[in-house]
Amino acid sequence: MTDVHEVFDAVDVIRTKRDGRTLTDGQIRWFLTEYTAGRVADEQAAALLMAILWRGMDPRELDQWTAAMIATGERLDLSGAGRPTVDKHSTGGVGDKVSLALVPLVAACGAAVPQLSGRGLGHTGGTLDKMEAIPGWRARLDADEMVRILRTVGGVICAAGPGLAPADRKLYALRDVTGTVESIPLIASSIMSKKIAEGTDALVLDVKVGGGAFMSDVGQARLLAETMVSLGHAAGVRTTALLTAMDTPLGRAVGNAVEVTEAEEVLAGGGPADLVEVTLALAREMLALAGIDADPDTVRHDGRGLRTWRAMVAAQGGDVAATLPVASLRHVVRSPSTGFVTRLDARAVGVAVWRLGAGRARKEDTVSTTAGLWCHAKPGDAVENGQPVLELAVDDPSRLPDALAALDGAFTIGPEPPAPVPLILDRITA
């Protein structure tokens, strides 16, 4: 707590950072506590965020800022799970349904995976939106229910409650409207405050890099990963990060229900090779941090992963026997020539699927469970003139023209296949 003899003023805190000086622990704790309570105005918080964007934060400041954000709310106690706890966070991409397969795979190996997830905004999809394509499935769990499912099934995918890092909830909304989203200290503290508050023992970060990711520059992505790993270690959470490629959509399906189906294929021992590679790489990182000697690919092929998935869905009210909803209209985009796909723009695909209705422009928007897209050919694949490359699915035909406009120039056909590009770009441990 802040020393009762210390007296603070919001303008003084803003000036400190504006002038390039270091905020004290007391200033940080006071500002975030008072802002969360509504006693510091949004205008003042916006000014401090802009000062942080321009001036940055040193490691001690950022540790204290993150700890103070956590202290504005509760911290979950997962000790009742009866298993080592480990979680994963992705910075978001196109076709990134990794969590849907990863959570039951790692849980089937003996870990407890408390996957607190979010909803999609813009061209990147949200894990909760995908799961809600399953009839009856519930995103909201209270802490006791979450621990019970972790103990009996091993994994949950659910929404973060309002009590976790409430300062971040307010600051996140403010950053979105004040041009301060891009600050690495603010991104890192936003992600890590919630992940640390959820009470997991270990965490693996999937930091996406490329045209379809939040960060297109590998150097900036590496800096973000290093910053988050450092914050995790400072808070006593064993943390590693993988930098993974996101210039091309991950897997073949992009949307909500269609991505659930593809994740189930992975759990049944199949699925696209790129999606399987990233999922297994993250699973092995998680199991290593949890101290569990198990092979997630064995679990994927022997049926345990799929059984754990079904148990996890059922535990959250989902009907595992239900047929997922299907869109009423299909539209195929064909190759204009014979050759090889040399490029498929992940961002363009993500925007197209968003325009079909699978994503949202504002947090309060509803999403379509059926809207989606399949990538029938991806970079390296040979195609004939007129062969399907992309296939769109939608219920509302009025959405199709804008989606097709987003795909204009989204892929390139060339005479030779492109050089292979690695999916796992780097591993950050400290």
CATH number of the domain at 364, please.
3.90.1170.30
CA atoms within 13 A on the CB side of 345: 14
Is residue 4 assigned to a domain?
no
Active-site residue identified among 96, 168, 206, 274:
168
Contact criterion met (CB below 8 Å) for 64 and 27: no
- Is 374 found in the same domain as 234? no
Is residue 347 assigned to a domain?
yes
**How many residues are present in the chain?**
430
- Which of 291, 315, 339 is at the close of a domain? 315
Active-site residue identified among 117, 183, 190, 335:
190
Is residue 408 assigned to a domain?
yes
Is residue 254 assigned to a domain?
yes
pLDDT attached to residue 244? 98
Active-site residue identified among 17, 83, 88, 89:
89
- Is 249 found in the same domain as 165? yes
Collapse the DSSP code of 391 into the 3-class scheme (helix H, G, I; strand E, B; otherwise coil) and give the result: strand
| Per-residue DSSP letter, 81 | G
pLDDT attached to residue 125? 73
Active-site residue identified among 194, 208, 355, 376:
194
CATH number of the domain at 282, please.
3.40.1030.10
- Is 333 found in the same domain as 310? no
- Is 104 found in the same domain as 204? yes
pLDDT attached to residue 2? 47
pTM to 2 decimal places: 0.94
- Is 179 found in the same domain as 37? no
Q: Can you read off the two tokens belonging to residue 291?
A: 């101290």
Q: Measured over all CA atoms, what is the biggest interatomic distance in the chain, rounded to whole angstroms?
A: 76
pLDDT attached to residue 4? 46
CATH number of the domain at 39, please.
1.20.970.10
Is residue 174 assigned to a domain?
yes
CA distances for 51 relative to 96, 106, 219, angstroms: 33, 41, 23
- Is 93 found in the same domain as 18? no
Beta pairing class for 202-209 and 238-245: parallel
Catalytic (active site) residue 194: yes
- Is 91 found in the same domain as 15? no
Question: Crossing angle for the helix pair 257-267 and 304-315, nearest 10 degrees?
Answer: 140
- Is 291 found in the same domain as 212? yes
Catalytic (active site) residue 331: no
- Is 196 found in the same domain as 87? yes
- Which of 250, 285, 315 is at the close of a domain? 315
- Is 249 found in the same domain as 396? no
Is residue 426 assigned to a domain?
no
Contact criterion met (CB below 8 Å) for 73 and 91: no
Q: What are phi and psi of 340, to 5 degrees?
A: -125, 145
Looking at the structure of the chain, the number of domains it has is 3
Active-site residue identified among 175, 238, 304, 347:
175
Is residue 396 assigned to a domain?
yes
- Is 239 found in the same domain as 194? yes
Catalytic (active site) residue 426: no
pLDDT digits (tens), the chain, 430 positions: 445 457 899 999 999 999 999 999 999 999 999 999 999 999 999 999 999 999 999 999 999 999 999 999 999 999 999 999 999 999 989 999 999 999 999 999 999 999 998 877 667 778 999 999 999 999 999 999 999 999 999 999 999 888 999 999 999 889 988 989 889 999 999 999 999 999 999 999 999 999 999 899 999 999 999 999 999 999 999 999 999 999 999 999 999 999 999 999 999 999 999 999 999 999 999 999 999 999 999 999 999 999 999 999 999 999 999 999 999 999 999 999 999 999 999 999 999 999 999 987 776 678 899 999 999 999 999 999 999 999 999 999 999 999 999 999 999 999 999 999 999 999 999 7
- Which of 263, 283, 315 is at the close of a domain? 315
- Is 175 found in the same domain as 123? yes
Rounded Cα distance, 333 and 327, in Å: 17
Rounded Cα distance, 117 and 158, in Å: 6
pLDDT attached to residue 256? 96
Domain that holds residue 49: 10-56
Is residue 429 assigned to a domain?
no
Which residues lie closer than 8 Å to 251 by C-beta, 6 or more apart?
95, 97, 259, 262, 271, 272, 274, 275, 375
